[in-house]
Chains A and B, each alone.
Chain A
Amino acid sequence: MLDAHDRVTGQVPYVMDVAVPGMLHAKVLRSAAAHARIVRLDVSRARALPGVVAVLTGADLEARSDLFPYFGPVFRDQPVLAIGKVRFVGEPVAAVAAVDLDIAQEAVDLIEVEYEELPAVFDSFDAVADGAPLVHSEPPRLGQTFADVIIHSQAGTNICNSFRLRKGDVEAGFAASEHVFEDTFTSPPVQHVPLETHVAVVSVTKAGVTCWSSTQIPYILRSQLAEIFRLPASKVRVIVLTLGGGYGGKCYPKIEPIAAVLAQASGRPVRLHLTREEEFVTVTKHGVSIRMKTGLSADGKILARQSTCHFNTGAYADIGPRLIKNGGYGTGGPHSIDNVWVDSYAIYTNLPPAGAFRGYGISQAAWAYETQMDMIAERLRMDPLELRRRNLLKNGDTVMTGEPIEDAHFRELLDTAADRIGWDFTDWDNGRELVDDGRKARAKGLSCIIKGTVTPSTSTAAAKLNEDGSLQVMTSAVEMGQGLQTAMAFIAAEAMSLPLDRVAISSVDTDFTPYDQQTSSSRSTQAMGGAIVGAIDQIKARLLELASDQLEVSPDDLEFSDGRIRPKDAPDRGLDYGEVVRRDRAGNIQGNGTFQTKGGLDPETGLGIGSVHWHQAVGAAEVEVDLETGHVKVLRYHAGIYSGRTINPVQADLQTEGNVAFGVGQALYEEMLFDNGQLQNGNLGDYMIASINDMPPDLDVGVLENHESNEIHGIGETSLPPVMPAIGNAVYRATGVRVLDLPITAEKVLRGLRARAAANDAAAAESELEPEGAAA
């Protein structure tokens, strides 16, 4: 990375390092009830504490006509502070700004609150049952949102939103099928656990709002703060420094509105930085149950698939209404299937809000379809590699959303994965290797996935060529460790024909850096890279005009080379870029670029352009299962991914290796455990994320490029979804234990092993009792 020096010396500043003169420190009182009316909230003792400058409750905000105290990227259903009632344990109820953190915390402890508990609902099926308590009694308030969002909400129920896909005739497909299989798969809520928790510093004056935030979505945050304060967007400034990890969790406003209303009330800048425990109840990955029915011909060709997905979106919609679309259509998988039917629901419950999470619904979908692929292969007594090969999308096939795919590489990726892991399937009764005197079993598993990127979407960039010929690029794309700034610098340097050290990429400041939709969806290298090239094209066009005049050479006869513009036939007569700028007294030369994709899905059929292009990845795992403890260790893993064109190979490796770490954690350990809505393991002592010892000792990353198309495919997320099913499939072949509900904990494996042993014993006893020859 370009700022590597500052990163290894600890000098790179994060938003938590921002200190503004006069800054106060905030603490939040959070709900202890999952669903309750607030019957009494007394903040008088907190207000009276010396050093406290502001204390706010939802009632205070509601009373203000100059404030709109709700936010949310699709529905404005989340109050800045609970208004009237609370909907999950951990919901912000009151907030304090004080001269230091100790006093803020002391003040929070002095707040008295009484709840009248209401019936609560935590499970997404319970939430849609007749007579279920309603998490929201009012229909959700829709606000300005993304072009690709499809809304089918059902007021008076807990169905926050639904999405349907109807491709072909699924009933006819099942009727024509020789085999039909139906299984249910679940994934639990998990937390992003960025090591930097959410942090914001906000100042609100008559001139406007300034917000430093560790956010992935500066422009959406800007518009939501403008909405809350009823200000034009031009009066809100969002500044983002590098993030200490995001993984989707820092998409959409979370804590900024609280800091902002406190800043306004106190007349001073306010800093709010969550504790790890607070981070755990701020946003989660969606827990989901997916019922998947798949019909196949006698020779193993998938003819129809029907999926019903119950995504638990928690107490507030966040981006759930959109995520269920991707997670829903995602169940179609990387398979060519003529008949696909999906019903996907975002369901309100009294759990913390679920939102964007690396993989964006595809991890959950892939856990279902790639686990089921192996289950089907076994039932058909087929090689799971061969079953996949028969069904993978090829160029010209239509994906689940109906558009043809033109850049399909699934087969090549999967064959490479099989080769690298040493796939040696013979039959379903063999395939495991016993080691350690039979105490441990080893086996291999495969998976393959498809993922879209948000479509349509827009990114813009500005650039200026300075008077010394150096280039400055201004964007609102967020660096969160993925190496985006470095990738953008590579792209800009190449486009401008400049050495890398002559290019600088700005950090994000919405007062100066132009619009970007979001740093998410593995889109930024392609989208912002495209916008940067557009901006540089404008600069080069102007530079060509000026140099043509100055050198008296036709523009057609000039070329750019290493910071100079020169006649093709007389390279020595060239001028430095800076010289051209100075001779013209242009000051600098500016350019603007826009990258925009088109597409979207029909709201009724779910068909259309699901993604501007399709991200593709495979996984191959070899695991070792301790048959006495059920403990799973991933010995080897191959992560294969299609990148189109790789901008920075080191960063591509890092992102992919990071996905393996994420995936191993989610496969084996990660799960948020709730008891009546109360999180039981919301800290890093009780919630396990992958350590260095959980990494497969033999980890192989394969990045597949296509030098013909040269199109950049984002790789931030794509290699994550294959990890969990590849491990699950390997565990099954090692043990005969099929876990359908993530994570694959040692307890579940051991329970499965014992159940199998008991069943074998019973069968053996049975056969001993049978009279000889009865089996015939």
Chain B
Amino acid sequence: MIDHSNGNGAGRAHEAGGAGGEVAATATGDGDGRIALRLTVNGREHAVRARTHHTLLEVLRSPQIGLIGTREGCGIGMCGACTVLVDGRLVSGCLVLAAQADGRDIVTVEGLSQPDGGLHPIQAAFVEHTGFQCSYCTPGFILATKALLDEVPDPSREEARDFLAGNLCRCGSYVKILDSVMDAKHRVPAAADAS
């Protein structure tokens, strides 16, 4: 676990190697040091090849998968811009080796949108409250919000603050991010009921 505290913020720890475990037996090296991996990303299975030092973040962004919503901000698990869900758990994509994600179920921001292309209720709340400026950090915040609401469906503002302290927004859109999260908690159950 990496303590994600910043200044006075305790923060919710992103998990280093949260996917845990060893490299699965299917992962075998080839001549140029690449191994074959199978990742399920947003419900779709991908067979990819990656070097053993490549991170999940790099592989998600590589042309093999080509999802650009997951972004590097610091490379050391401190900023949360590369936040993804691995088997439902919140992790920093820059801290997880691609090989550790072999066989795992990964959700990125692209996986939140509804089948009809509509927004996930959390995304809709971020639009409604303009919970972003440059929006580089936004996918990370949205996935962190999803993890929060999966764990605590009705968080207090303070709980939400503490949980989100592991994601950094340099534009400082925090007030409206928190407004978005507090609104999202009302929208999410509604969406669940509707489905």
Contacts and interface: CB of A to CB of B under 8 A. Distances in A.
Interface of A: 1, 4-5, 7-14, 16-17, 19, 102, 192-196, 242-245, 247, 275-276, 480-483, 631, 633, 650-651, 653-655, 657-662, 668-669, 683-685, 688-695, 699
A654 B130 CA distance: 8
Given A691-B165, A691-B168, A692-B165, A7 B132 contact: yes
A17 B139 CA distance: 15
Contact of B69 (A11, A662, A689): A11
Interface string B133-151: 1111111001000000000
Given A688-B6, A691-B7, A8 B78 contact: no
Contacts of A657: 172-176
Contact of B9 (A12, A653, A661, A692): A692
Among B9, B164, B177, the one with the most A-chain Cβ atoms within 10 Å of its Cβ is: B9
B5 to A, nearest CB: 8
Contacts of B113: 9
Given A9-B110, A481-B135, A245 B170 contact: yes
Interface SS, A side: loop
Interface string B1-19: 0000011111100000000
Contact of B137 (A17, A195, A688): A195
Contact of B170 (A7, A13, A688, A689): A689
> Ordered nearest first, which 8 A-B pairs have the shortest CB separation?
A10-B69, A661-B172, A481-B134, A693-B9, A244-B136, A658-B172, A481-B133, A7-B135
Contacts of A102: 51
Contact of A195 (B70, B76, B168): B168
Given A11-B69, A654-B173, A659-B172, A685 B76 contact: yes
Contacts of B91: none
Size class of B's contact patch? 35 or more
A10 B6 contact: no
A664 B46 CA distance: 44
Contact of A243 (B134, B139, B173): B134
Contacts of B175: 653, 657, 695, 699
Contacts of B119: 5, 8-9
25 contacts: A8-B132, A9-B69, A9-B110, A9-B113, A10-B67, A10-B110, A10-B138, A195-B137, A196-B71, A196-B136, A242-B134, A654-B133, A654-B171, A654-B173, A655-B133, A660-B172, A662-B172, A683-B74, A683-B76, A684-B73, A689-B6, A689-B168, A690-B172, A693-B8, A695-B172
B12 to A, nearest CB: 11
A8 B174 contact: no
Nearest to B73: A195
A693 B134 contact: no
Interface of B: 6-11, 51, 63, 67-71, 73-76, 78-79, 81, 108-110, 112-113, 119, 123, 126-127, 130, 132-139, 142, 161-162, 164-178
B134 A691 contact: no
Contacts of B71: 14, 16, 195-196, 244
Contacts of B126: 4, 8
A519 to B, nearest CB: 13
A374 B108 CA distance: 50
Contact of A694 (B8, B109, B164, B173): B8
A165 B186 CA distance: 58
A694 B168 contact: no
Contacts of B176: 650, 653-654, 657
Given A8-B138, A10-B70, A657-B176, A651 B8 contact: no
B130 A4 contact: yes
B135 A482 contact: no
Contacts of B162: 693
A195 B134 contact: yes
A247 B134 CA distance: 11
Nearest to B2: A685
Contact of A693 (B69, B127, B165): B165
Given A481-B133, A660-B172, A195 B79 contact: yes
B4 to A, nearest CB: 9
Contacts of A195: 71, 73, 79, 81, 134, 136-137, 168-170
Among A11, A242, A669, the one with the most B-chain Cβ atoms within 10 Å of its Cβ is: A11
Contacts of B166: 691
Contacts of B164: 692
Contacts of B139: 8, 10
Contacts of B8: 631, 633, 693-694
B170 A693 contact: no
Contacts of B173: 654, 657-658
Contacts of A650: 130, 176
A699 B76 CA distance: 31
A5 B127 contact: yes
A109 to B, nearest CB: 14
Contacts of B68: 10-11, 13-14, 17
Nearest to A668: B7
Given A245-B171, A662-B172, A692 B161 contact: yes
A4 B79 contact: no
A192 B171 CA distance: 10
B63 to A, nearest CB: 7
Nearest to A694: B7
Contacts of B127: 4-5, 8
A530 B112 CA distance: 40
Contacts of A244: 71, 134-136
A447 to B, nearest CB: 18
Contact of A692 (B138, B142, B174): B174
A659 B174 CA distance: 11
Given A10-B139, A683-B76, A693-B162, A480 B6 contact: no
A651 B7 contact: no
Given A9-B109, A244-B134, A695-B172, 17 more contacts: A10-B68, A10-B108, A194-B136, A195-B81, A195-B169, A195-B170, A244-B71, A245-B136, A276-B74, A276-B76, A482-B133, A631-B8, A650-B130, A658-B172, A692-B165, A692-B169, A693-B10
A8 B123 contact: yes
A8 to B, nearest CB: 4
Contacts of A17: 68
Contacts of B135: 7-8, 12, 242, 244, 481
Given A684-B76, A693-B9, A658 B178 contact: no
A481 B171 CA distance: 8
B28 to A, nearest CB: 19
A614 B132 CA distance: 28
A102 B34 CA distance: 12
A704 to B, nearest CB: 19
